Amino acid sequence: MSTTTTSTTPTTSATVAAPVVPTSGALTPLGLDEVRITDGFWADRQRVNGTATLPHVEHWLEREGWLRNFDLAAAGTLPEGRRGREFADSEVYKYLEAVAWELGRLGGDEALESRFRAIVDRVAAAQEADGYLNTRFGRPGQGERWSDLEWGHELYCLGHLFQAAVARERTSPGSDDGLLGTATRAADLICEVFGTDGIQSVCGHAEVEVGLAELSRVTGEPRYLELASLFVERRGTGVLQDIEWGRAYFQDDVPIREAEALRGHAVRANYLAAGATDIAVEHGDDGLLDALRGQWDRTIARRTYLTGGQGSHHQDEAFGEDFELPSDRAYSETCAGIASIMFSWRLLLEDRDVRYADHIERVLYNVVATSPSAAGTAFFYANTLHQRTPGESSPDDEVSPRASSSERAPWFDVSCCPPNVARTLASLAAFVATSDDRGVQIHQFASATIDTVIGGEHGGRFRAELVTDYPRSGVVTVRIVEAPSGPVTVSLRVPSWADDAVVTVRPVDGASVGRAITPGYADVERSFVPGDVVELTFSIRPRVTLPDPRVDAIRGSVAIERGPEVYCVESVDLPGGDEAIARIEVGEGVVPVEDADGRLSIELRTRSLADTAWPYGDAFAGSGPDETFTASIAPYHSWAERGPSTMRVWIPITRA
């Protein structure tokens, strides 16, 4: 872990095209105009996101009437004809945020710009004179404004509106589309309604805190940050009504400074932690930051799945207790994974601790990449680690009540995940690299270009090309295109599992020099000239992973990982089909085999057991011979692409 240094260069929030732009911290994020992903795994995902997922989301927002709700509000005909859940407005705002990032990624697109502006116009037309904006409350025949803070999601929806406006302002500063004005009018209203002398409560679903903090950073308006701070400090004091799952569901059971781990609804918990981190950073509140660091530590160590997913309760989409991580009941909501990235990224910018970047990578490859289909038009809402029954296919033209099958669905009654995936992938380049007064840090590996200005004593223009086929191999090459005249430090993350990493400098004029590096950040400091190359290499080979024995549900099992990817066994690759997934075992000491094309296989055994009248006893007789065979295994993010199937990540070890 590298030593934290605080940047001495102030950040101008509105000029950095990134989702999170603190005014101070160890690291400064680089925006979409400074980092562009050009090739490889994530470039392919971004292409599909832009060409398929965004049109798909817009189609369903229109088809399901969630966009039309704004038209009805503008026409004064609500509540008649309103469709969707109480939080349906937020999905429109997340879509707008995704499009804003996509426009920034592309450097503009006339057709997409036109669609964006048309939807902004429809949203703005629904705003009331005092700034109130919501299609579910506030009109005759609807609930009164702010009358259901536990479940109404009014502030939650506005948080996503604020984030959409921030994305637009950072990718198209000074745009005349009116979205920023719509957002600030709504923010001004809630400052009056929920300020020091206003309603002394919070939203049942944290999110507005994040939106207000970033809106404050963009506009320079301190009232927005102060309101976000009030919301964070009020929560945990019992301001919301108790419910059957307890106030922990809303994180309203314990003040955030006293909490020891994330708990309750996993998305709410991570959004709250992300917003609280924003406030702590802007206020220089070390006590709050320490509390959040401790919550992150315990949550990762005791409440997070191998995939990086979080949430083991279906009924309340919530965290379980420590080590309560059953594979077949893993909820691991896609949105919870995205929210945990938001929390981790903020801590990374503040602390420059490689653990946060490692977790972000794990979630990106095994939750974010898992949710959308290869075509980008169907999604997992939840991400189980063990599918016991094959389920049924989800029709392309029907809404799913929830992702309960083993195939992705095109849309859901609660469709928070598709636009959340879309905005994450569109903005992904902003999570690749950062800078400080010493140089540039590379946190996620993708073929990309970097073009930025480094501050500090030896500051100046820095341009580089990243080339890698990661995660296929562990070779990351950084070729310097332009650099300041003085010393610059290029830092590359060495993943926690990379035990044989070497960093090599290949200067244009001179001998190459390499040295072994332990996990953390490999720092290379020198006066670079164009053509110099820094290369990080490490082995990406399959490895067998054991669980902490306190995770009862998977004690005596192993999982297979390769680089950042978790692997799984799928029934379509087993003799015996769907039913066989419940009977497979792996021998102790068996290791996966990798072929020349990078495909993995492993020797498995199928144990034959007879059905009995009572499933407990001192021994169980087999009904036939056990079978040993070699089966293909594949990255978890690719499962269920071949039709309904059963699947498992953790494989029981054969015992005598």
Q: According to the model, what pLDDT value does residue 8 have?
A: 35
Mean pLDDT of 162-174: 97
Residue 12 pLDDT > 80, yes or no?
no
Distance set, CA 630 to CA 375, 604, 605 (Å): 30, 6, 9
Contacts of 489 (CB under 8 A, 6+ apart): 438, 439, 440, 523, 524, 525
pLDDT level of residue 407 (50, 70, 90 thresholds): confident
CB 55 within 8 A of CB 81: no
Burial 434-445, CB ≥16 within 10 A → b, else e: bbbbbbbbbbbb
Sequence length of the chain is 656
Instruction: Tell me how far apart the alpha carbons of residues 317 and 324 are, in angstroms, rounded to a whole number.
Output: 14
Residue 2 pLDDT > 50, yes or no?
no
Q: Are strands 542-545 and 627-635 parallel, antiparallel or unpaired?
A: unpaired
pLDDT level of residue 6 (50, 70, 90 thresholds): very low
Q: According to the model, what pLDDT value does residue 656 have?
A: 57
Instruction: Look up residue 564 and give its two tokens.
Output: 């950042």
Residue 7 pLDDT > 80, yes or no?
no
Mean pLDDT of 137-158: 98
What pLDDT digit, counting tens, does each position of 602-632 carry? 999 998 888 888 989 887 767 666 899 999 9
| Extended beta strands in 16-160, E state | 28-29, 35-39
Residue 9 pLDDT > 60, yes or no?
no
DSSP run (H or E) holding 305: none
The C-alpha angle 159, 165, 168, rounded to 5 degrees, equals: 145
List the beta bridge partners of residue 648. 386, 569
Q: What is the DSSP string of 249-293?
A: GGT-SS-TTT-SS--SBHHHHHHHHHHHHHHHHHHT-HHHHHHHH
Q: Which has the closest alpha carbon to 305: 289, 285, 324, 288?
A: 324
Q: Which has the closest alpha carbon to 66: 42, 86, 50, 48?
A: 86
As a whole number, the mean pLDDT across the chain is: 95
Q: Which has the closest alpha carbon to 233: 206, 214, 215, 211?
A: 206
Q: Which has the closest alpha carbon to 92: 156, 161, 142?
A: 161
Q: According to the model, what pLDDT value does residue 11 have?
A: 45
Instruction: Tell me how far apart the alpha carbons of residues 501 and 516 are, in angstroms, rounded to a whole number.
Output: 6
List the beta bridge partners of residue 475. 537
Phi, psi of 351 (to 5 degrees): -110, -20
Q: According to the model, what pLDDT value does residue 405 have?
A: 60
Q: Are strands 488-494 and 439-442 parallel, antiparallel or unpaired?
A: parallel
Q: Exposure of 257 by Cβ count < 10 A (0-12 exposed, 13-18 middle, 19+ buried)?
A: middle
Burial 324-346, CB ≥16 within 10 A → b, else e: bbbbebbbbbbbbbbbbbbbbbb
Tell me, what DSSP letter sits at residue 379?
Answer: B
End-to-end, the C-alpha distance of the chain in Å comes to: 43
pLDDT level of residue 403 (50, 70, 90 thresholds): low
Torsion of CA 449, 454, 460, 464, to 10 degrees: -20
The C-alpha angle 428, 430, 434, rounded to 5 degrees, equals: 140
Q: According to the model, what pLDDT value does residue 54 have?
A: 98
Worst-scoring range by mean pLDDT, 18-27, 400-409, 566-575? Answer: 400-409
Residue 519 pLDDT > 90, yes or no?
yes
Tell me, what DSSP letter sits at residue 20?
Answer: -
Q: What is the DSSP string of 21-46?
A: --SSSS-EE--TTTEEEEESHHHHHH
pLDDT level of residue 1 (50, 70, 90 thresholds): very low
Instruction: Look up residue 32 and give its two tokens.
Output: 């979409």
| Extended beta strands in 398-519, E state | 433-435, 439-442, 447-454, 460-467, 475-482, 488-494, 501-506, 513-517
Phi, psi of 318 (to 5 degrees): -120, 165
Q: According to the model, what pLDDT value does residue 5 have?
A: 36
Residue 105 pLDDT > 50, yes or no?
yes
Instruction: Look up residue 73 and give its two tokens.
Output: 């509000």
pLDDT level of residue 404 (50, 70, 90 thresholds): low
Number of other residues whose CB lies within 10 A of the CB of residue 52: 16
Residue 251 pLDDT > 50, yes or no?
yes
Percent of the chain whose pLDDT exceeds 70: 96
DSSP run (H or E) holding 263: none
Q: Which has the closest alpha carbon to 163: 118, 101, 235?
A: 101
Q: Which has the closest alpha carbon to 33: 460, 432, 361, 348?
A: 432
Residue 458 pLDDT > 90, yes or no?
no
DSSP run (H or E) holding 455: none
Instruction: Look up residue 202 and give its two tokens.
Output: 């919070």
List the beta bridge partners of residue 581. none
Q: In 364-504, where does DSSP find H-type helix?
A: 417-426
Worst-scoring range by mean pLDDT, 7-16, 95-104, 307-316, 476-485? Answer: 7-16
Residue type, position 133, single letter: L
Mean pLDDT of 508-536: 96
Q: According to the model, what pLDDT value does residue 455 have?
A: 87
List the beta bridge partners of residue 156. none
What pLDDT digit, counting tens, does each position of 307-361 carry? 999 999 999 999 999 999 999 999 999 999 999 999 999 999 999 999 999 999 9
Distance set, CA 170 to CA 74, 123, 175 (Å): 28, 20, 10
3-state DSSP assignment of residue 400:
strand
CB 382 within 8 A of CB 61: no
CB 95 within 8 A of CB 422: yes
Instruction: Look up residue 243 and give its two tokens.
Output: 């419910």
